[in-house]
A and B are shown apart, each in its own frame.
Chain A
Amino acid sequence: MQMRMIIGFITLCAALLCLPMAAAGAPAQADQVYINASTYVAERFAGEPPAQETLWPSSDLRTQLKNILGHAPSLRFKYWGAGGKTVWILDEIGKDRPITAGVTITDNRIEDVQVLVFRESRGWEVKYEFFTSQFANLWLDRDQQLSGKVDNITGATLSVKAMKRMAKAALLMHRATPQAQTTLADAR
């Protein structure tokens, strides 16, 4: 019994190790990267991404971002914007390690959230659509909270909170870009 279980365990490990090679015919890449940033940006702009731009937050915006993130924000944020849409690639630490997420904002609402790189030891659920789809169409209310609820995942509370912080920061920064002004002009 004992020997059979050990042999079975080793066989299982070997089979799992071979999976990516058999599927792709090539060695597995750094497998925590689920989608790279340039691919995500291209996808969000239907294959024609605009040039990268930089937002240097004003003093007031930095204060608001600090309130959302719970720590001093970066000095500048890179983003891609066109036609009332902006795409942000952000990093936030959940428990130990940074989670890299892509957040797309259109007309001041969240169009899409995806985890690009996940480095945490727990909270793997946040990288899948059953979790990220909860962010769709949410906006930032007057209290700078998301307009709808995003349910927690047991054992992944810190990763969930990191994802919420990134979504709120992207919504807030979108307002400071010319793309938000484009939306206003179109509305008029």
Chain B
Amino acid sequence: MVLVRALVILGILGAGWSTRAYAQEPSLVDLYKLVAAQGEQIKLLTQELDATKAKLASTDADVKITEERLVSTVEFVEQQSTGNADGANWWDRTRVGGYAEVHYNNIDAEDDSRNKKETDIHRYVLYVNHEYNDRVRFFSELEVEHGLVKDTADGSNSGEVEIEQAFIEVDLNGNHQAKAGLFLLPVGILNETHEPNTFYGVERNNVESIILPATWWENGAAVSGQYASGISWDFAVHSGLEMPTSGSSSYRIRSGRQKSSNASAEDLAFTGRLSFSGVPGLQLSGAYQHQTDMSQEAGDGVGEGRLLTAHAIYNQGGFQLRALWAQWEIDGDLIGQAGADDQSGWYVEPSYRFALPTSNLFTAMGVYSRFEDLQGYREQDQFEQWEVGMNLWPTDNVVFKIDYRDRSHQVSAAQGRDFKAIDLGVGLQF
């Protein structure tokens, strides 16, 4: 409307100017023609303006549709690329991962016949986890040890295929969970977290092998709780050890693991753990386990067993200190006479991890030393060991390791087993 008015006023003014400019005044007919012509022009301009407005409205609608399509496309692409945390599809709720470690050991023993140069894929593990819904999930871990399992007439081969975890976990409420099936026992440092990139040393420490027989899993059920104070607890009822009472592995804790294979459930065991991690960088933990019969057989001179273990981990910047102690007390006349009723061990491990410049192939380097004192039952399980070494991480989930070990046995009959060793290793998880 403003445009129309402006054109009319301009027309009238133009007509007035023309009147003054020319000597001969236009007739009324001329003026009528002029106004009529301008009216036609205004009509055309108005039609063009209406058409432009319509086109603009249509373009606005198109832009809105395109924007909606773009957002939908982005949402779809994001869902495909990152997985949907709350997805309805089973593959959105299923995760596959694993870890592996390959070792080279060069052992120079006091008794030359025990020298060894060996390379071994010690472990290859695949795990598959599935979340049924927000409260119910499944964890599993399948492991092949030493690279090869073959069917031999006498059953001799170094490899093993093992199911180390297969359990259902249910959230009871915000801070408490229950699980049932085959699970790792809540004891020590390495038993539940043992991916090679998470610890120092090509080989795991000996205390958490000989005294705490990691990796240690049992069939059973467990409950756990965690609180804002940083305190957490675990309690588990599970299958027990079946410790041999004769042969070369007699009274060896590690040989008592039934590995969940047709495991005797005559005499169950119970494990409880209390931990505190309410100060960043600090973890304090203690666990107690009660075995109702260490050999799963009544009247054989081996009875109840009690395991007590505690550990502390302290991080300050790149510095870390780990210390762990564990002790078994086992009842029974026969085991008492053999002197195997008290088995213990401890270790302390200071380390320092440096971040390396981003231009470097390796993102971090760590150096450590470890001292272990073992008091197992067998002569070869009573020793002290010093160890120093280095880890290099090209990325957080891959590690290259080198270390030097010096082991000294306490019993003179076992001193031929004393050794110095250099180990190399590569480990990864994904």
Q: Is B413 an interface residue (CB 8 A)?
A: no
B328 CB to nearest chain A CB (Å): 18
A16 touches B225 (CB 8 A): yes
- Residues in A with CB closer than 8 Å to B235 are 9, 12
B315 touches A97 (CB 8 A): no
Chain B 269-313 residues near chain A, CB threshold 8 A: 270, 277-281, 283, 292, 313
Q: Is A155 an interface residue (CB 8 A)?
A: yes
Chain B 120-162 residues near chain A, CB threshold 8 A: 129, 131, 133-135, 137, 139
Of the candidates B193, B221, B267, B292, which one forms a contact with A122 in the assembled complex, judged by CB atoms under 8 Å apart?
A: B193
Q: Is A96 an interface residue (CB 8 A)?
A: yes
For A126, give the chain B residue with the smallest CB separation: B280
**In whole angstroms, how far apart are the Cα atoms of A89 and B120 in the complex?**
46
B 177-217 to A, binary, CB cutoff 8 A, 1 in contact else 0: 01000000000010011000010000000000000000000
16 contacts between A and B (CB under 8 A): A5-B270, A9-B235, A19-B172, A19-B173, A19-B176, A31-B135, A31-B174, A96-B97, A98-B85, A117-B85, A119-B131, A124-B226, A150-B280, A151-B281, A152-B280, A152-B315
**In whole angstroms, how far apart are the Cα atoms of A121 and B135 in the complex?**
12
B267 touches A16 (CB 8 A): no
- Residues in B with CB closer than 8 Å to A124 are 226, 232
Of the candidates B137, B192, B223, B229, which one forms a contact with A155 in the assembled complex, judged by CB atoms under 8 Å apart?
A: B192
A121 touches B139 (CB 8 A): yes
For A130, give the chain B residue with the smallest CB separation: B278
A 5-42 to B, binary, CB cutoff 8 A, 1 in contact else 0: 11001001100110110000000101111100000000
A75 touches B78 (CB 8 A): yes
Decide yes or no: A151 and B82 within 8 Å by CB, A5-B270, A16-B178, A20-B173 being known contacts: no
Of the candidates B134, B173, B268, which one forms a contact with A2 in the assembled complex, judged by CB atoms under 8 Å apart?
A: B268
B223 touches A13 (CB 8 A): yes
A13 touches B172 (CB 8 A): yes
Q: Is A59 an interface residue (CB 8 A)?
A: no
- Residues in B with CB closer than 8 Å to A20 are 173-174
Q: Is A153 an interface residue (CB 8 A)?
A: yes
For B314, give the chain A residue with the smallest CB separation: A154
B228 touches A129 (CB 8 A): yes
**In whole angstroms, how far apart are the Cα atoms of A11 and B193 in the complex?**
30
Q: Is A86 an interface residue (CB 8 A)?
A: no
B178 touches A157 (CB 8 A): no
For A54, give the chain B residue with the smallest CB separation: B71
B74 touches A131 (CB 8 A): no
B270 touches A31 (CB 8 A): no
- Residues in B with CB closer than 8 Å to A128 are 228, 230, 278
Decide yes or no: A154 and B313 within 8 Å by CB, A9-B221, A32-B171, A161-B396 being known contacts: yes
B317 touches A149 (CB 8 A): yes
**In whole angstroms, how far apart are the Cα atoms of A98 and B77 in the complex?**
17
B134 touches A157 (CB 8 A): no
Chain A 127-158 residues near chain B, CB threshold 8 A: 128-131, 134, 149-155, 157-158
**In whole angstroms, how far apart are the Cα atoms of A121 and B77 in the complex?**
27
Top-4 shortest CB links A-B: A151-B280, A151-B281, A30-B134, A20-B173
Taking A31-B135, A74-B82 as known contacts, 12 extra A-B pairs with beta carbons closer than 8 A to each other, sorted by chain A number, are A5-B237, A9-B221, A16-B176, A19-B176, A28-B174, A72-B81, A75-B74, A96-B129, A129-B228, A134-B280, A153-B277, A155-B193
**In whole angstroms, how far apart are the Cα atoms of A58 and B77 in the complex?**
18
Q: Is B95 an interface residue (CB 8 A)?
A: yes
Q: Is B381 an interface residue (CB 8 A)?
A: no
Decide yes or no: A2 and B277 within 8 Å by CB, A19-B172, A75-B77, A161-B396 being known contacts: no
**In whole angstroms, how far apart are the Cα atoms of A28 and B173 in the complex?**
7
- Residues in B with CB closer than 8 Å to A31 are 134-135, 171, 173-174
For A129, give the chain B residue with the smallest CB separation: B228
For B283, give the chain A residue with the smallest CB separation: A154
Q: Is A185 an interface residue (CB 8 A)?
A: no
B277 touches A157 (CB 8 A): no
Chain B 82-104 residues near chain A, CB threshold 8 A: 82-83, 85, 95, 97
Q: Is B169 an interface residue (CB 8 A)?
A: yes
A130 touches B279 (CB 8 A): yes
Of the candidates B78, B223, B281, B315, which one forms a contact with A9 in the assembled complex, judged by CB atoms under 8 Å apart?
A: B223
